[in-house]
């Protein structure tokens, strides 16, 4: 779907991105992760044909961003960090305008608008003026305008920016529902959102890709294990004894024990959740819940940040 080779973009003498090379397969939901100023938005603007690259090659479905920008715009939907909304229009009027701007025929436009509104839960505000909508609904309209021409690729730059917790959950669910029908590239610096939404990760630091793959692949690369939260019925001591029998199990912390339910956090040297579950059940422990613990992606990201900054510090 996306092929990037040696992409560089300069603003004057400053290299916002330097020699980026990566590819994204059709149907994936990919998280583009980096600190503010790492080069995420610049890269997405090149993909969206908003900026021309200084050098390198970028192609989407075989079309080059320099030679075929109009063809690429037919194939992608782009949501910039600030959604391009005409606030005096109603939601329906605006989406109709965008569909026609993207080349959707007059006869097909109503169906395209209805489908985009259905996917983004905007049917109830079809006739509402955009200026009167909440920030969360305005973000949905931004996603809908990126969807309305049914593109193969969606590029979403910080889609959860400024949303409250409920709206973030709704946006996350919306993106997950798009999986399969679209290839999705989501940029964010909110690690938990990327972790819960995306299949694969691209991590960018100071304009360069420093890591790529699934969370599990990045953990293996960095020599890290995984953290698991376990909830059991009965005494924590019995569960701890069973966990100690699992090869690769490290530290076990009892986070709480009340009303006959114990919650524990377990450090595993590798992906050993199946073995952990078998050990608990085999020891007669009633396993109520087992989840990956929060914070895995944060650990990966911080370790990568230290790895990429330490050499430059030594050179200085």
pLDDT for res 60: 94
Task: Name, in order, each residue with C-beta under 8 angstroms of 227's C-beta and a sequence gap of 6 or more.
Answer: 265, 266, 267, 268, 292, 293, 295, 296
Strand, coil or helix: what is 70?
A: helix
Please tell me whether residue 38 adopts helix, strand or coil conformation.
Answer: coil
Residue 316 has pLDDT above 50, yes or no: no
Q: Give pLDDT, residue 313.
A: 42
Least confident of 45-54, 133-142, 184-193, 199-208: 184-193
pLDDT of residue 298: 62
Residue that wins the pLDDT comparison between 223 and 78: 78
What's the average model confidence in pLDDT over 129-153? 94
What whole-number distance in Å separates Cα of residue 59 and Cα of residue 57?
A: 7
What strands lie across the sheet with 286-292, from one edge to the other?
249-258, 261-268, 226-233, 286-292
Alpha helix ranges (H) inside 204-295: 215-221, 236-243, 273-282
Q: Tell me how far the alpha carbon of residue 313 is from its chain's centroid.
A: 30
The DSSP bridge partners found for residue 252 are 266
Q: For 167-183, write each residue's pLDDT tens digit.
A: 888 888 888 888 778 89
Q: Cβ–Cβ contacts within 10 Å for residue 223, how many? A: 8
CB 151 within 8 A of CB 76: yes
CA distance 263 to 229: 7
Residue 76 dihedral angles phi and psi, to the nearest 5°:
-125, 155
pLDDT for position 314: 40
Q: Is 103 a residue whose pLDDT tops 50?
A: yes
Give this prediction's pTM: 0.72
Q: How confident is the model at residue 207 (pLDDT cuts 50, 70, 90)?
A: confident
User: How far, CA to CA in Å, does 57 sit from each of 13, 53, 247, 277?
Assistant: 20, 8, 47, 48
Determine which of 58-72, 123-137, 247-261 has the lowest per-residue pLDDT on average: 247-261
- Whether residue 309 is predicted with pLDDT greater than 60 in this model: the reply is no
Farthest CA pair distance, the chain: 68
Give just the sign of the alpha carbon dihedral 93, 97, 98, 99: positive
Q: What three-state secondary structure class fits 153? A: strand
Residue 36 to residue 17: CA distance in whole angstroms: 13
| Helix intervals (H) in the chain | 40-47, 69-75, 91-101, 109-119, 135-147, 165-177, 191-197, 215-221, 236-243, 273-282, 296-315
CA–CA gap between residue 123 and residue 117 (Å, rounded): 5
- Round to whole Å and give the CA distance between 289 and 261: 11
| pLDDT value, residue 219 | 66
Taking each continuous run of H as one helix and of E as one strand, the counts in the chain are 11, 14
Q: Which long-range CB contacts under 8 A does 67-70 form with residues at least 24 apart?
A: none
Domains plus CATH for the chain?
2-213 (3.40.50.300), 223-296 (3.30.70.1560)
User: How high is the pLDDT of residue 225?
Assistant: 59
116 within 8 A of 126, measured Cβ to Cβ: no
The predicted structure's pLDDT at residue 138? 93
């Amino acid at each position: 779907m996306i092929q990037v080779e040696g992409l560089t973009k300069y603003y004057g003498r400053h290299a916002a991105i330097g020699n980026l090379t990566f590819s994204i397969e059709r149907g994936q939901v990919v998280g583009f992760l980096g600190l503010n100023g790492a080069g995420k938005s610049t890269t997405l603007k090149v993909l969206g044909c908003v900026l021309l690259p200084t050098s390198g090659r970028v192609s989407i479905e075989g079309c080059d961003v320099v030679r075929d920008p109009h063809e690429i715009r037919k194939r992608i939907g782009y949501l910039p960090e600030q959604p391009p909304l005409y606030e005096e229009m109603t939601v329906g009027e605006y989406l109709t305008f965008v569909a026609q701007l993207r080349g959707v025929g007059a006869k097909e436009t109503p169906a395209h608008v209805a489908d985009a509104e259905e996917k983004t839960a905007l049917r109830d505000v079809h006739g509402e003026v955009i200026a009167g909508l909440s920030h969360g609904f305005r973000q949905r309209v931004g996603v809908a305008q990126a969807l309305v021409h049914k593109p193969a690729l969606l590029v979403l730059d910080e889609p959860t920016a400024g949303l409250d917790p409920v709206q973030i959950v709704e946006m996350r669910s919306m993106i997950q529902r798009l999986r399969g029908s679209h290839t999705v590239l989501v940029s964010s610096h909110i690690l938990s959102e990327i972790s819960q939404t995306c299949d694969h990760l691209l991590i960018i630091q100071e304009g360069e890709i420093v890591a790529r793959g699934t969370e599990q692949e990045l953990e293996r690369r960095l020599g890290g294990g995984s953290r698991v939260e376990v909830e059991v019925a009965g005494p924590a001591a019995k569960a701890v004894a069973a966990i100690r029998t699992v090869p690769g199990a490290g530290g076990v912390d009892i986070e709480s024990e009340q009303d006959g339910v114990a919650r524990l956090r377990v450090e595993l040297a590798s992906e050993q959740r199946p073995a952990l579950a078998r050990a608990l059940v085999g020891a007669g422990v009633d396993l109520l819940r087992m989840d990956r613990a929060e914070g895995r992606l944060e650990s990966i990201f911080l370790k990568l940040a230290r790895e990429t900054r330490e050499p430059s510090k030594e050179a200085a």
